């Protein structure tokens, strides 16, 4: 499969919204759809929210032919990678790696990201790519705190077993 990575444009936002919602649900709604999910997704991945994200960060898209199959955000000021999403049917095809490549190629300092501690597949992916555990933080949704690990590329300060 030929995959191309390019930067997102305004005309991509409707498809990007759909990709983000599909991947978010398939990753985090493991026990079912909670009432807080819909407002969170509407707020976070609305076209307006994505437009704001696009102004503040770089968004890279992965396409197979003309079809959207993955996306990632990269903030060049902080070197934070976020919202790395590959279509469920396209996992393990090298797309996530290509998207991280696009971020690290323009990074001026070591790229880092946060990942839910129970997202074991993503944690295995980040470790395989060369990220190392460098700390912990919390993601808040609907008044509940969810433990996230911080991973930094190439940083050897590993403490997690």
Ligand X SMILES: CC(C)(COP(=O)(O)OP(=O)(O)OC[C@H]1O[C@@H](n2cnc3c(N)ncnc32)[C@H](O)[C@@H]1OP(=O)(O)O)[C@@H](O)C(=O)NCCC(=O)NCCS
Chain residues binding ligand X by CB under 6 A are 23, 27, 84-86, 91-97, 115, 119, 121-122, 124-125, 128
Contact status, residue 114 vs residue 79, Cβ threshold 8 Å: no
Question: Is 92 or 159 the residue whose CB approaches ligand X more closely?
Answer: 92
Provide, rounded to whole angstroms, the least separation between the CB of residue 76 and ligand X.
19
Question: Is 10 or 141 the residue whose CB approaches ligand X more closely?
Answer: 141
Question: Is 1 or 157 the residue whose CB approaches ligand X more closely?
Answer: 1
C-alpha–C-alpha distance, residues 112 and 32, integer Å: 29
Contact status, residue 134 vs residue 117, Cβ threshold 8 Å: no
C-alpha–C-alpha distance, residues 76 and 101, integer Å: 14
Q: Which residue is nearest to ligand X (CB)?
A: 96
């Amino acid at each position: 499969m030929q995959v191309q990575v390019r930067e997102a444009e305004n005309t991509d936002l409707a498809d990007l919204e759909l990709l983000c919602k599909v991947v978010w649900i398939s990753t985090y709604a493991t026990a079912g759809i909670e009432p807080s999910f819909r407002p969170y997704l509407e707020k976070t991945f609305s076209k307006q929210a994505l437009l704001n994200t696009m102004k503040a960060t770089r968004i890279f898209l992965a396409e197979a032919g003309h079809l959207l199959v993955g996306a990632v955000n990269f903030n060049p000021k902080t070197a934070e990678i976020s919202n790395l999403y590959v279509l469920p049917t396209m996992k393990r095809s090298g797309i996530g790696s290509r998207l991280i490549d696009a971020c690290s190629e323009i990074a001026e300092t070591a790229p880092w990201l946060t990942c839910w501690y129970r997202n074991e597949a993503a944690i295995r992916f980040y470790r395989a790519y060369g990220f190392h555990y460098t700390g912990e933080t919390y993601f808040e949704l609907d008044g509940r705190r969810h433990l996230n690990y911080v991973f930094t590329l190439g940083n050897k300060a590993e403490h997690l077993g």
